Structure 1
């Protein structure tokens, strides 16, 4: 593990959405301010839209941290459900026991929670993640939940969080009533090149690093190119770069190491795609077309030529360097196998 080697207290580029590591980019600051303002102003609804890996969940956990002493909160992740299931899920997240499946009873229990919290001067804030998975009936249930109010204020604040297709869903005519109730729509975009550098430094400092610049300027420039400014991609690149640097006993990460990591991650993406479309048993021999062994060599079993691979959005960064139209890399050497292993099992 590279934590001790680089004098780090904790993992700086982990996959968990730790709010302490939130980097305050311009768009993240604006979205955070908008969400908090909407809650404090009792607007009832807000929406946050972004591509996967943009830091939505980390931002929302930061919001929950800000609200822990002033609101009762629920964070719903599983959104492929019916209206009744959503109500039971919501009550469970609010620690309200339920046994009666009757929707009327569930609504009444939820209303009691809202009124009780209102009497205590506390808000109830519900965050619904992956909102693009909610069907029209469930979204209508969500809209009706926002009807709970007093003459003075809304009793419930709902934050709908989703990918860009959710914004398109809201634009449909049948969603007009819900859209009219959302006064704030926030969008997260990729980090600017300067922000990528600051993001890397920020996470290292939060993790306890206090030494000289760990990634060279050239290495950071390469991270900008490979990551497209997407935080999740930056984390994957940096995690693998630190793992490689530790293995090589280098105290500073160079551009060449970022290049190698980029190649490793691209190979991992290809391998995942091949495994998904052409499952192969472990240890099985696979024919390698158009790559005959040299004279005197023993053919090595491996993964054959990969063609027509469709790249999809993935947590694995996609390299923008030296990518030929026809991908024909053969994974057959021990070094390639090690690189694949580092990529898939960091």
Structure 2
């Protein structure tokens, strides 16, 4: 592990959406301010739209952190469901026990929660992720939930979060009633080149790094090129670069190491290289020349082939680690 080698307190480029690592880019600050303003103004609805990997979930977890003392919150990830299931998921997230599947009962329980929180001066905020997967009937249920209100304020604030196709769905005529209720539509874009450099430095500092510049300027420029400013891609590149740097015992990450990582992460290129270097076929599976099996194992011809061999780093390593490119495949699949 490279944490000790680079004097890091924790993983700076992990895959979990830790709100402490949120980098305040211009577009993320604007979206955060808009979402908080919408909640505090009791607008009822807001939407956040972005391509995968832009940091939506990290931003939303930051919103939840900001609200922990002033609101009761629910974060729904399961969106491929019926209206009834959505209500049950929602009540479960709000820690409301329910065994009755009757929609009327579910609505009444939810209304009770809203009224109780309102009497205590607290808001109820529901975040629905992957909203592009919601069926039209479920979206109509979501719209109707926003009808819970008093003469003074909305009792419920809903943040719909989705990929660009969700914005297209909202533009359909049959979604006009829902769209009219969303006063704020926020979009996240990729980071600018300058922001990529600041993003990398920010995450390193949060993780406890206090040494000299860890990535050379040239390496950072290459990260910009390979990632296109997408935070998730930046994290993958930097994680693998630090792993490689630790293996090579280099205290500073150079451009050449970023180039190698870029090749490692391009699985299609690696498979083509394997095909060109060895008499193997690349199709539904990668066929590798025969490798003597261990005692008790069933011989296998390639990655992903069904058999009695368990798909583990060890068994894949024995099958494919016949060339440098194949070793890179193994490192990419099991970082």
Same fold (TM over 0.5): yes
Counterpart CA distance in 2 for 1:77 and 1:106 is 19
Q: Cα RMSD over matched residues? A: 7.2
Q: Which residue of 1 aligns with 2:138?
A: 138
What TM-score, normalized to structure 1?
Answer: 0.84
The offset of 1:335, in angstroms, is 1.8
Q: Which residue of 2 aligns with 1:328?
A: 317
Point out where structure 2 has 5 or more consecutive residues left out of the alignment: none
Kept in 2: contact 1:72–1:125 (CA 8 A) = yes
**1:234-255 Cα distance to aligned partner (Å, 9 max, x none):** 0000000000000000000000
**1:41-85 Cα distance to aligned partner (Å, 9 max, x none):** 000000000000000000000000000000000000000000000
Count how many residue pairs are aligned between Structure 1 and Structure 2.
335
3-state SS, counterpart of residue 215 of structure 2: coil
Counterpart CA distance in 1 for 2:106 and 2:302 is 57
Kept in 2: contact 1:74–1:90 (CA 8 A) = yes
3-state SS, counterpart of residue 329 of structure 1: helix
The offset of 1:304, in angstroms, is 14
**1:260-286 Cα distance to aligned partner (Å, 9 max, x none):** 000000026865999999999999996
Counterpart CA distance in 1 for 2:136 and 2:234 is 35
Counterpart CA distance in 1 for 2:42 and 2:110 is 18
What TM-score, normalized to structure 2?
Answer: 0.87
The offset of 1:331, in angstroms, is 8.0
Counterpart CA distance in 2 for 1:345 and 1:36 is 39
The offset of 1:337, in angstroms, is 2.1
Q: 273-282 or 13-22: which moved more?
A: 273-282
Instruction: Tell me: CA distance 1:85–1:207, structure 2 relative to 1, closer, same or farther (3 Å).
Output: same
Kept in 2: contact 1:287–1:304 (CA 8 A) = no
Counterpart CA distance in 1 for 2:225 and 2:309 is 22
Kept in 2: contact 1:303–1:332 (CA 8 A) = no
| Runs of 4+ that moved beyond 4 A | 268-311, 323-333
The offset of 1:342, in angstroms, is 1.5
Kept in 2: contact 1:305–1:328 (CA 8 A) = no
Kept in 2: contact 1:301–1:332 (CA 8 A) = no
Point out where structure 1 has 5 or more consecutive residues left out of the alignment: 312-322
Kept in 2: contact 1:241–1:261 (CA 8 A) = yes
The offset of 1:17, in angstroms, is 0.1
Instruction: Tell me: CA distance 1:6–1:170, structure 2 relative to 1, closer, same or farther (3 Å).
Output: same
Instruction: Tell me: CA distance 1:139–1:270, structure 2 relative to 1, closer, same or farther (3 Å).
Output: farther
The offset of 1:336, in angstroms, is 1.6
Kept in 1: contact 2:291–2:318 (CA 8 A) = no
Instruction: Tell me: CA distance 1:140–1:298, structure 2 relative to 1, closer, same or farther (3 Å).
Output: closer
Kept in 2: contact 1:304–1:331 (CA 8 A) = no
Counterpart CA distance in 2 for 1:74 and 1:45 is 14
Kept in 2: contact 1:32–1:59 (CA 8 A) = yes
Counterpart CA distance in 1 for 2:42 and 2:234 is 36
The offset of 1:334, in angstroms, is 3.0
Q: 287-296 or 100-109: which moved more?
A: 287-296
